[in-house]
Structure 1
Amino acid sequence: MQVRNSPSRYGLVSIVMHWGVALAVFGLFALGLWMVGLDYYSPWRKSGPDLHKSIGLVLLAVMALRVVWRFVSPPPPAPANHGPLTRVAATLGHLALYLGLFAVMIAGYLISTADGAGIPVFGLFEVPALLSNLPDQADTAGLIHFYLAWGLVIFAVLHGLAALKHHFIDRDATLLRMLGRKA
């Protein structure tokens, strides 16, 4: 399999980033839902949020690389049977996923840095607090993070359903290309 995208399919880098981001998003969502239910005496009360923050910051870096990669190795064009409405919907859908991902991660960063402390990443280094002590920063960012996370996961499920629709109903190569196969 080629590393870069070709006119007919995605390359290894794009595929690994796509599925890795998807796995991280759903894993972070599940971890987030689980950890908000932890009580004061749970041994995971500190470890769960620390893990959530560390994975979230790594995901932020991966997403930044993913945006750069789209310019270095542009995605293959849509299959020929996609009409203009489908192409516009796909472009807007991907843009919404990217913006949603960045927005939910920035909101998470603002929650974690509201008190002015940086965020340790797996105990290896710390991301500094660049913006803190805004009025109600943690609460406001927390609400935004919560609703954006739900919206992102719902939209990601719709994205997956659209890929399945292309594969099973339209019988085009949309899904196969993200699996590294030619049509």
Structure 2
Amino acid sequence: MKQKQVYDPLTVIIHWLTAIVVIGLFAVGFWMVDLNYYSKWYQTAPFWHKSVGICLAIVTVFRLLWKLLAKSPVIEGARWEIVSAKIAHFLLYLMMFGIFMSGYLISTEDGRAIDVFNWFSVPAMGELFPDQSDIAGEIHEYLAYGLIGLAVIHALAALKHHFINKDNTLKKMLGVK
């Protein structure tokens, strides 16, 4: 059986869409923590941040299910690079799910559901432990910084493979042979 040379178009689209959305959510989150009650964005920014975050969580679950079904190209590089790539991908997903869960805990401590673009609501479980939103907020922030840091390393590794190793690592995720 011939090994795949590039990622399928759906995987490529979800990968790059995820990258854009994660960077956007990070930027909005960084900006909105300084909003005060009198800002016109005080209600709107968190609504959009939560809605987009929940949509990203749904897409990420789909992405993982798709990953189980779709054949992926072989990871190129030395053994340590392959192991590092697998660990990094695992950590990227782990951090994203940690961010999704901590965001949920921040938003639902008061017992109110999260309204997603007025399409549907994610029910709340309320306060599960004391100082839930403060603790979850700290976790959310640290994981967000960690995710961005690891994403930068991920991007630099892809550029290293492209420009130094001159292999097809980056081209595969661009859908180019």
TM-score band, normalised by shorter chain: over 0.9
2:96 corresponding residue in structure 1: 101
In 2: Cα distance, 1:75 partner to 1:110 partner: 34
In 2: Cα distance, 1:142 partner to 1:18 partner: 26
**Cα pair 2:99 2:143 within 8 Å, conserved:** yes
Residue 126 in 1 paired to residue 121 in 2?
yes
1:8-58 deviation line (CA, Å, top 9, x unaligned) = 100111001100110110000000011111122111100000000000000
Q: Secondary structure at the match of 1:45?
A: coil
Q: Which runs of 5+ in 1 are unaligned?
A: 1-5
- Moved beyond 2 Å, runs of 4+: 130-133
2:149 corresponding residue in structure 1: 154
Q: Which has the higher contact order (CA 8 A, sep 6+)?
A: 2
Give TM-score, length-normalised by structure 2: 0.96
Give the letter aligned to residue 138 of structure 1.
Answer: S
In 2: Cα distance, 1:128 partner to 1:46 partner: 19
Q: Which moved more, 1:127-136 or 1:64-73?
A: 127-136
In 1: Cα distance, 2:140 partner to 2:58 partner: 18
Give the letter aligned to residue 117 of structure 1.
Answer: R
2:174 corresponding residue in structure 1: 179
Q: Secondary structure at the match of 2:47?
A: helix
Give TM-score, length-normalised by structure 1: 0.93
2:21 corresponding residue in structure 1: 24
The count of corresponding residues between Structure 1 and Structure 2 is: 175
1:123-161 deviation line (CA, Å, top 9, x unaligned) = 111000135342110000000000000110011011001
Identity of aligned residues (%): 47
Q: Which runs of 5+ in 2 are unaligned?
A: none
Q: Secondary structure at the match of 2:121?
A: strand
Give the drift of 1:107. 0.5
